[in-house]
C-alpha cells in the first residue's frame, strides 16, 4: 500500500494514542486501570476538557492555515503570520477590558468579539496586500506582519489599562490550556467541527479555483463567493482557537505543509487530514509543555514556536523565488 493510502488509516489509532497520553500526563500521573475518586475528578473535570480543547484548537488552527495557503497559493501563509490571530486577540482583549461580555455568556461573547477582530485584521491585510488587481505573497506577508505588530501593540496598551483582567490578557499573549474548562470546550465543540465540515464541503471548489479564476468561472464556480466563504471560515476557526487558547503560532504553517508533502494537494483529502493531524500535534505539544520543566508548565505557544520557527525559516529559504 502506498503512503497516500496508508496515512488516513493511521489517523484513528494515532488520535486514540495521543488522547491517552494527554489524559495520563500531568503533576498527578493517572493510570486508567486504577482510578481513585480523586483521579476521576482530575480526569473528567480538568484533563479531559483540556485535551479536547487542545485537539480542537490544533485542528482549527491547522485547517485555517491550510485554507489560507490554498487561497494564496503559497505554503507560507497562515493566520498567525498574516496577523489574523493578533486581530482575534485584540477583539477578545477589548471585550475583557471594557467588560463588553455578558456575565451570562462571557466566554461566548469574548469569542464573538475575537471573531470580529480577526475579520477586521484580515480585511486590513487584504487592503494593504492588494495592488494592481492582484496579490503578491511577499506583500501579503509584510502586510500581515505589520498588521499583527500594530494590533499586538494595541493589546499591550489594553494590558496597561487592565486591572484584575491582566492575568487573562497575559494568557492571550503566551497561549496555553491551563485555564481550559468545560465552558471553553463546549464553545469549541459547537463551532470548530461545523466550520471544518463546511470547509470540507467546499473543498472541491477550492481545487478548481487553484487552476485559475478564469478556469474556475468557466467551470461554474462562483469565485468571489468561494473566496469569501473560505476567508470567513479561516477567521472563525482562528478566533475560536484564540479565545480558547490565546496566541499559538505556527500550527497552521507546519501541519498543512507536512500533510501536503505526504498526501498531495487535493483539498478533499488535505482538509480532513490536516484537521486531525493538527489536533494530534497540539495535544502532544501541550503534553510536552506540562513535563519539560515539571512541576512548572511552559506556555504551549513557546513549544510550537520552538518547532515552527526553524521550519518557517526553511520554507522562506526554499520559497524565496516565489515571494516576489
Residue pair 244/187 in contact by the 8 Å Cβ criterion? yes
- If one compares 80 and 106, the residue with the highest pLDDT of the two is 80
Average pLDDT of every residue of the chain: 83
For 50, the grid coordinates are 483540556
- If one compares 76 and 273, the residue with the highest pLDDT of the two is 273
- If one compares 109 and 235, the residue with the highest pLDDT of the two is 235
pLDDT in tens, 292-301: 887 778 889 8
pLDDT in tens, 206-231: 888 877 777 777 777 777 788 889 98
Q: What are phi and psi of 74, to 5 degrees?
A: -155, 135
pLDDT in tens, 124-146: 988 887 766 566 667 777 888 89
b/e burial code for range 210-223 (CB count within 10 A of at least 16 → b): beeeeebeeeebeb
pLDDT in tens, 186-200: 888 989 999 999 999
pLDDT in tens, 7-24: 567 888 999 999 999 998
Q: Which residue segments constitute the domains of the chain, with CATH numbers given?
A: 75-322 (1.10.3470.10)
Q: What is the reported pTM? A: 0.88
Residue pair 212/264 in contact by the 8 Å Cβ criterion? no
Amino acid at each position: 500500500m502506498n503512503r497516500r493510502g496508508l496515512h488516513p488509516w493511521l489517523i484513528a489509532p494515532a488520535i486514540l494514542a495521543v488522547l491517552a497520553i494527554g489524559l495520563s500526563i500531568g503533576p498527578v500521573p493517572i493510570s486508567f486501570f486504577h482510578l481513585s475518586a480523586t483521579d476521576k475528578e482530575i480526569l473528567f473535570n480538568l484533563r479531559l476538557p483540556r485535551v479536547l480543547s487542545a485537539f480542537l484548537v490544533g485542528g482549527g488552527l491547522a485547517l485555517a492555515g491550510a485554507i489560507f495557503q490554498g487561497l494564496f497559493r503559497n505554503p507560507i501563509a497562515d493566520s498567525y503570520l498574516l496577523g489574523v490571530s493578533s486581530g482575534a486577540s485584540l477583539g477578545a482583549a477589548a471585550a475583557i477590558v471594557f467588560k463588553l461580555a455578558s456575565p451570562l455568556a462571557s466566554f461566548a461573547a469574548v469569542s464573538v468579539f475575537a471573531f470580529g477582530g480577526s475579520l477586521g485584521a484580515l480585511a486590513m491585510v487584504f487592503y494593504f496586500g492588494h495592488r494592481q488587481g492582484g496579490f503578491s505573497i511577499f506583500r501579503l506577508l509584510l502586510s500581515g506582519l505589520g498588521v499583527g505588530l500594530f494590533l499586538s501593540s494595541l493589546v499591550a496598551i489594553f494590558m496597561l489599562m487592565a486591572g484584575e483582567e491582566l492575568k487573562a490578557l497575559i494568557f492571550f499573549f503566551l497561549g496555553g490550556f491551563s485555564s481550559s474548562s468545560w465552558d471553553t470546550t463546549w464553545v469549541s465543540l459547537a463551532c470548530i467541527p461545523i466550520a471544518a465540515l463546511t470547509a470540507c464541503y467546499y473543498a472541491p471548489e477550492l481545487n478548481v479555483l487553484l487552476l485559475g479564476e478564469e478556469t474556475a468561472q468557466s467551470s461554474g464556480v462562483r469565485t468571489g463567493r468561494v473566496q469569501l466563504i473560505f476567508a470567513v471560515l479561516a477567521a472563525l476557526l482562528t478566533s475560536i482557537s484564540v479565545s480558547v487558547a490565546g496566541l499559538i503560532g505556527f500550527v497552521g504553517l507546519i501541519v498543512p505543509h507536512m500533510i501536503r508533502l505526504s498526501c498531495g494537494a487535493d483539498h478533499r483529502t488535505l482538509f480532513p487530514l490536516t484537521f486531525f493531524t493538527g489536533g494530534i500535534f497540539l495535544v502532544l505539544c501541550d503534553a510536552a509543555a506540562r513535563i519539560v520543566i515539571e512541576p512548572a508548565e511552559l506556555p504551549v505557544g513557546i513549544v510550537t514556536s520552538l518547532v515552527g520557527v526553524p521550519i518557517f525559516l526553511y520554507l522562506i529559504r526554499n520559497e524565496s523565488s516565489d515571494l516576489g
